Amino acid sequence: DQQVKQNSPSLSVQEGRISILNCDYTNSMFDYFLWYKKYPAEGPTFLISISSIKDKNEDGRFTVFLNKSAKHLSLHIVPSQPGDSAVYFCAASAGAQKLVFGQGTRLTINP
């Protein structure tokens, strides 16, 4: 039973436009949500996170939105740059326990 789902395996966006990556979860006990970015042959690196008591967190070009009623979060990247091309993983935790990851979305930024 997968608790964190990223239903889009891939996404292609033109450079300079907005990239929107989506994530759904089922466990209402999750209290922290994170996005990780992964380049080929490297480990995931932390990008941005949000607590369940907030609905938005922004860091430069990256913004994460959380809709608790819909159990949905999204990552917005504006403007998208070629270096943003990577696999993005959504992750969640409940009470500082282990992270539960989604399947990842491969983002490709086209020049």
Partner 1 sequence: EAGVTQFPSHSVIEKGQTVTLRCDPISGHDNLYWYRRVMGKEIKFLLHFVKESKQDESGMPNNRFLAERTGGTYSTLKVQPAELEDSGVYFCASSRLGQFTGANVLTFGAGSRLTVL
Using CA atoms, how far residue 19 sits from 32, 42, 46, 52, in Å, is: 22, 22, 18, 23
DSSP label at residue 3: S
Integer Cα distance of 110 and 35 in angstroms: 22
Q: Could you say which of 102, 105, 107, 109 contacts partner 1 (CB under 8 A)?
A: 102
**64-93 binders of partner 1 (CB under 8 A):** 89, 91, 93
At closest approach, how far in Å is the CB of 17 from partner 1? 26
Contact present, 9 and 89 (Cβ < 8 Å): no
CB nearer to partner 1: pick between 13 and 90: 90
* # residues near partner 1 by CB under 8 A: 29
Interaction between residue 2 and partner 1 (CB under 8 A): yes
